[in-house]
Structure 1
């Protein structure tokens, strides 16, 4: 999107936040709210800090993910006041306010020292990674739950500006996925594939919205595989890449799986099967649909896929009823996406009441009904995970599983196909570029 068009959308986004915060603060009886960007924390017994990402509600206003020790004061009917921390420093490059139109929406006060600003008289809340001593000094309520829940809800339905940012994040991330596949096809190791991804998506490793998952062969069956082998494998069966990008704070979260030179025909066919399942699920997305129902449909169709490929001898319904599909796919169908990869309020109704995942689907992160403006992931999967399949082997359920074929598929690890989709008033908009 061109810069001028994005700037116009951002102005509309900020104006909408002005009105929404005024309504919420008045409803909850607050004079205002102070949002803290956060700061990096040192490792215990060390002077090195962990990677840092700003607080989501701060980034909802300020499109910068790594600004530390800054504060934003929101009061109904007044211009937002941004306390911008820019220390005088020769060890590190101090942050500078960008030359962008959104800055004019704020009154900006530059601060050179970390520390909270003072607050005027009134009832205030302070939100973020703030200690109780600081909150007491401010005379503000620290992270009050009712207000936090209400502000979380403002992030559920994205503005056109936010959708544009998520689309751009997807475009950048997908360029990385294409480069990762090329590196895999060239016989590179997991670390080389990771570096190819970062180079093509134009980001440093500390800036990714979550640690990229780059799993070759059996590693593709570890859902959040966290390492990068530095040597290529002797046999190349499969590659799973779950990796994203952050644009102006907004996150892409894309997964692709590809067969390798030594991939079995069964596995290649299963990749197409999971991909087709994912496309059917996306095509059915629309406002008013229950995501829990979509998740349950995923399991039914996964059961059909297992039966169709003779991985199970029973019917699809029996595979679901006996927990076989959950053993082959233990995670949820997807989650809300935005300023956080697993974005807020996925397990709450719009009024803030909890909407927990059911006992037989505890990993499902999105349990509410779909609404226009939501952005979510759709990510069905199939994995050979020994610790989940082993309990089925020696009981009655095990007789319905083709263990010889499972053993053949085990070296491939698993399959996940994941796109990022916006819910529109009349259906959906897939933000992830096509393969």
Structure 2
């Protein structure tokens, strides 16, 4: 999609949000809504601030990720009003907003000082955002029922949002390709990170989340947060979970690569990739997301048996005995949007057999979800299994061999369509 087409969709997006927000405000008895963009808090005991990316509802409307101390006023039947903080400052650069078509649908003003603007007559007012930024602002702050209704406005993506998510996927894939090439050339985790950033043109601080880059056994830590600067003696495996933020919208992609001498691990990657594609094909309106999660466990069981990691038990027994949860301990995925783990995913708690599942809804057209099965060799989870009553069904020598490769995760971002699904990630690989 061209930039011109994408920008034209943004105006339609704003009209849709105006309708959705009007319904939410009417349902909860409010005449207007003031949204804070937020501001980066200071680090405790320091004069430096944390990096800032903006509050979800503000990003949903504007996509302006780096703008602090800004405000958006929404009133049913009237044009939104956007106040941009533009201080006179010789210490920092003041951001400049380039003109785009969506600005014709919004009244834009500026503020030199932090703090809420003076408002016209707005009736009963709700104000939402970081409570630290709302001190002294008139109105009802963060009313719980209204916030829940506004979260629902983000569940079904507009055409503009889908286009942004697709672009975020395409940009991230260029980084994943560069990361794999760096790994195969023997790079350290730090150098893999640099290769990813160079290819995407995005600073780590501006990414939608801290990239997970685990080489060898580090791939077995689900949210591994460090980057070793030492090149590995042998590059056995790479797990990279990294995305890009485009106009506020996030991609969240994971790929796993095997080193040239790791035939067994490469076969497991291929098997998990085939399973992951089948799970993506399950995405469709009317499908309970937890059913995809449970189908993933059946697939993991089949893969464990085929690889000889577990013997003497059928797939159902591996699941019922909890063996698959040792190798695949997290949920199958989550909603995706202006937040990586987007809101409104758990109207009911996850079931006891999937305690870490972040999405418990039945899928509907317009939702965007991640599908991310994994197969890991995590000592703290495997050790009790290897010393327990089921130990005789495990292949400890093969497990020990594969532990130095850490684990596998493969993750795509998938749009639920009216008839099935559109894989935004694989489309970018074609």
TM-score by length of 2: 0.97
Is the 8 Å Cα contact of residues 189 and 233 (structure 1) preserved in structure 2? yes
Aligned to 1:352: none
CA offsets per residue over residues 364-423 of structure 1, 9 Å max, x none? 001110000000100000000010111112221222211111111110000000010100
Using the alignment, how far apart are the partners of 1:49 and 1:390 within structure 2?
42
Aligned to 1:65: 65
Aligned to 1:104: 104
Gaps of 5+ in 2: none
* Structure 2 residue 319 is matched with structure 1 residue 320: yes
Is the 8 Å Cα contact of residues 72 and 81 (structure 1) preserved in structure 2? yes
Aligned to 2:76: 76
Aligned to 1:379: 372
CA offsets per residue over residues 216-273 of structure 1, 9 Å max, x none? 000000000001111111111100110000000000000000001332x221110000
Using the alignment, how far apart are the partners of 1:90 and 1:296 within structure 2?
56
CA offsets per residue over residues 338-369 of structure 1, 9 Å max, x none? 00000001101xxxxxx111122111001110
Using the TM superposition, give the Cα deviation of residue 434 of structure 1 relative to its aligned residue in structure 2, in angstroms.
2.6
* Structure 2 residue 422 is matched with structure 1 residue 434: no
SS at match of 1:300: helix
Moved more, 118-127 or 295-304: 118-127
Is the 8 Å Cα contact of residues 118 and 138 (structure 1) preserved in structure 2? no
Using the alignment, how far apart are the partners of 2:231 and 2:54 within structure 1?
36
Gaps of 5+ in 1: 349-354
Aligned to 1:48: 48
Matches within 5 A, 1:7-406: 7-119=7-119, 120-131=121-132, 134=135, 137-263=136-262, 265-313=263-311, 314-348=313-347, 355-406=348-399
Using the alignment, how far apart are the partners of 1:267 and 1:372 within structure 2?
36
TM-score by length of 1: 0.96
Using the TM superposition, give the Cα deviation of residue 336 of structure 1 relative to its aligned residue in structure 2, in angstroms.
0.4
Using the alignment, how far apart are the partners of 1:276 and 1:293 within structure 2?
18
* Structure 2 residue 402 is matched with structure 1 residue 409: yes
Using the alignment, how far apart are the partners of 1:15 and 1:146 within structure 2?
23
SS at match of 1:104: helix
Using the alignment, how far apart are the partners of 2:243 and 2:138 within structure 1?
40
Is the 8 Å Cα contact of residues 85 and 110 (structure 2) preserved in structure 1? yes
- The 1:133/1:269 distance shift into structure 2, 3 A limit, reads closer
SS at match of 2:361: coil
Using the TM superposition, give the Cα deviation of residue 207 of structure 1 relative to its aligned residue in structure 2, in angstroms.
0.5
Using the TM superposition, give the Cα deviation of residue 185 of structure 1 relative to its aligned residue in structure 2, in angstroms.
1.1
CA offsets per residue over residues 129-156 of structure 1, 9 Å max, x none? 034972xx33311111110010100101
Using the TM superposition, give the Cα deviation of residue 315 of structure 1 relative to its aligned residue in structure 2, in angstroms.
1.2
- The 1:125/1:202 distance shift into structure 2, 3 A limit, reads same
- The 1:374/1:121 distance shift into structure 2, 3 A limit, reads closer
Is the 8 Å Cα contact of residues 218 and 412 (structure 1) preserved in structure 2? yes
Using the alignment, how far apart are the partners of 1:62 and 1:317 within structure 2?
48
Is the 8 Å Cα contact of residues 24 and 150 (structure 1) preserved in structure 2? yes
Give the root-mean-square deviation of aligned CA atoms: 1.2
Using the alignment, how far apart are the partners of 1:43 and 1:261 within structure 2?
44
SS at match of 1:61: helix
